[in-house]
Structure 1
Amino acid sequence: MTDYLDLNRANWDERAPAHAASPDYRVERFVSDPAYLSEVVRFDQPRLGGVSGLDAVHLQCHIGTDTLSLHRLGAHVTGLDFSAASIEQARALAQRAGAPIDYVESDVYGAVEALGGRPFDLVYTGVGALCWLPDIRRWAQVVAALLRPGGRLHLREGHPMLWALDETDPSGKLVVGYPYFETAEPLVWDDGSTYVETDHEFASTVTHEWNHGLGEIVTALLEEGLRLTMLVEHDTVPWEALPGQMELVDAPAGPGTSDTVREWRLRERPERLAASYTLQAVKPA
């Protein structure tokens, strides 16, 4: 397991420029439209609430589209990612968009030191981040250390039940093929594809990943003294996680709004699957 960071970093270093060039990340839309927000942030905007003036850190920020969106909502944002290529693309996007965003290269477990021990009002983490971490308890320790008293965590993630499904099962049924709970050893994948439209042929295809049960995530945060204030499960997810079994739908962008975003949901009986969730937790003052 000692090489998981090197393997995963090589994978993301190669994918970063391909993702930035893909129409799915809408980089040119971000540059041309100063009011444009990522659909991941728009989906949760009413749940996220006001962030104007908050000191925020976006962990595992990748190429920075959600980071830029938080900036456009008024937060003072720092993005952090372990991939130098991702940070390069994020800085380029921020510069083109005229957004003063700081970016720091570090893995999550080194975030406190890399950020100089600075406290934040908001720790933000988007979809598809926690699966790259082998130990959810260490993640919760980092989150708690980064938050100032009264600060909060906002997390939108793929549901661990979704991560446990075998999307390649030929039966077309929802088959649990992978661990739901955190395991000591990673799931090792060798996959030359990616989740966005691109013609690039990837060479760094091996990754190490872990699932973390919802109870494990919540308990890890509670053990660090955080108070859970929100846990909402959704039947949609931002990408076609189960190819051939999902359809694009207009998903409500949070409660109290008529705005919608396009997300993927099971075509048949979508109530069977919690595909993602939104979690918030506060560090007591």
Structure 2
Amino acid sequence: MSSHERDYVAINLANWNSRVPHHEQGYELHRFREDPRRLSDVVEFDRARLGDVRGLDVVHLQCHIGTDTLSLARLGARVTGLDFSEPALSVARRLAAECGADIEYVCSTVYDAVAALGAGRFDVVYTGVGALCWLDDIQRWAATVAALLKPGGRLFLREGHPMLWALAEPRPDGLLVVEYPYFKVEGGTLFHEKQTYVSHEGDLAAPDSISFNHGLGEIVTALFAANLRLTALTEHDSVPWNPLGDGMVQDERGEWRLRERPERLAATYTLQAVKG
């Protein structure tokens, strides 16, 4: 690991560790304990495109506290969750145990996933919204995905659209303004944010983070280079949290889209690719 990689990983690990107690409250984990059929809003949205995963070996990269991971298990998959935050995995393991779900959780960075989990083990690599922006090397990520998959295995990725990540914070005049890079920049972009994306009291103990935007062309090209064949790419006008304040409205599925003319913004996308 280079000194640059050590630096940004350490900063982001401290940031995500500090989010865990707030997310443990804000993710409404009691709803998963109380309802054995409960799925996360993210997986519920993905379900139609994801298809039948019963009996499949699925790895959820960057799984955080495991609500989406648990939801995949409830769809019948044999699921492994991987994340670099041990405090997050502690919550995920406890939630799985309380819900009677047999899920393996492994603490590792994405780049070390093959060493931690083994090559060629999985039918599906699943990655949810807000994951790729924490990785500086998308080619290395794509190669890792390919190495984890069995021959014919599938990547399922729903992610924030790089156009969304490039927008400025909410403005009083409601204008959408491009403020941050669409393309990856060396060193990433440093943010200092005292609050996370769920409502909570108090400030984050480690408010600094470094993120990296990756254009769609960069992502698709990296997948091609890793011998992953693109099978679907769908852009969506909605996102599962509110990044733009009063300019967005929530629908009955928990998704947020622009209040006025939502067709102006691709907020997320779903990408699927097959190995070989």
TM range (shorter): over 0.9
Could you tell me how far 1:243 is from its partner in structure 2? 1.2
Report the AA paired with residue 67 of structure 1: T
Q: Return the alpha-carbon distance in structure 2 between the equivalents of residues 97 and 82 of structure 1.
A: 23
> After superposition, where does 1:94-173 map in structure 2 within 5 Å?
94-117=96-119, 119-173=121-175
Matched with 2:229 is 227
Could you tell me how far 1:174 is from its partner in structure 2? 1.0
Q: Return the alpha-carbon distance in structure 2 between the equivalents of residues 73 and 90 of structure 1.
A: 17
Q: Is the 8 A contact 2:64 2:88 kept in 1?
A: yes
Could you tell me how far 1:238 is from its partner in structure 2? 0.5
Structure 2: gaps (5+ residues)? none
Report the AA paired with residue 274 of structure 1: A
Matched with 2:10 is 6
Q: 1:36 aligns with which of 35, 38, 41?
A: 38
> After superposition, where does 1:58-73 map in structure 2 within 5 Å?
58-73=60-75
Q: Normalised by the size of structure 2, how large is the TM-score?
A: 0.96
What SS class does the counterpart of residue 53 from structure 1 fall into?
coil
Q: Is the 8 A contact 2:119 2:149 kept in 1?
A: no
What SS class does the counterpart of residue 237 from structure 1 fall into?
coil
Q: Return the alpha-carbon distance in structure 1 between the equivalents of residues 202 and 220 of structure 2.
A: 38
Could you tell me how far 1:118 is from its partner in structure 2? 5.0
Matched with 1:180 is 182
| Coordinate RMSD, CA, aligned | 1.1
Q: Give deviations 1:213-265, integer Å, cap 9, x for gaps.
A: 01111111011111111111000001111112111123xxxxxxxxxx12110
Q: Is the 8 A contact 1:18 1:200 kept in 2?
A: no
Report the AA paired with residue 30 of structure 2: E
Q: Is the 8 A contact 2:170 2:247 kept in 1?
A: no
Q: Return the alpha-carbon distance in structure 1 between the equivalents of residues 250 and 223 of structure 2.
A: 33
Q: Does 1:93 find its partner at 2:85?
A: no
Q: Return the alpha-carbon distance in structure 1 between the equivalents of residues 120 and 224 of structure 2.
A: 22
Matched with 1:257 is none
Q: Return the alpha-carbon distance in structure 2 between the equivalents of residues 156 and 60 of structure 1.
A: 13
Structure 1's 144 and 78: CA in aligned 2 closer, same or farther, altered over 3 A?
Answer: same
What SS class does the counterpart of residue 194 from structure 1 fall into?
coil
Q: 1:265 aligns with which of 254, 257, 272?
A: 257
Q: Give deviations 1:174-228, integer Å, cap 9, x for gaps.
A: 1111110111121001111110121132120110100000111111101111111
Matched with 1:253 is none
Q: Which moved more, 1:192-201 or 1:155-164?
A: 192-201
Q: Which moved more, 1:154-163 or 1:115-124?
A: 115-124
Q: Return the alpha-carbon distance in structure 1 between the equivalents of residues 187 and 12 of structure 2.
A: 15
Q: Give deviations 1:254-284, integer Å, cap 9, x for gaps.
A: xxxxxxx121100111110000011110012
Q: Is the 8 A contact 2:54 2:76 kept in 1?
A: yes
Q: Does 1:17 find its partner at 2:48?
A: no
Q: Return the alpha-carbon distance in structure 2 between the equivalents of residues 72 and 61 of structure 1.
A: 15
Could you tell me how far 1:147 is from its partner in structure 2? 0.5
Paired residues in the alignment total 272
Report the AA paired with residue 186 of structure 1: G
What SS class does the counterpart of residue 155 from structure 2 fall into?
strand
Q: Is the 8 A contact 1:239 1:264 kept in 2?
A: yes
Q: Which moved more, 1:4-13 or 1:163-172?
A: 163-172
What SS class does the counterpart of residue 147 from structure 2 fall into?
helix
Structure 1's 218 and 177: CA in aligned 2 closer, same or farther, altered over 3 A?
Answer: same
Q: Return the alpha-carbon distance in structure 1 between the equivalents of residues 129 and 34 of structure 2.
A: 25
Report the AA paired with residue 5 of structure 1: V
What SS class does the counterpart of residue 34 from structure 1 fall into?
coil
What SS class does the counterpart of residue 236 from structure 1 fall into?
coil
Q: Return the alpha-carbon distance in structure 1 between the equivalents of residues 117 and 38 of structure 2.
A: 28
Q: Is the 8 A contact 2:118 2:148 kept in 1?
A: no
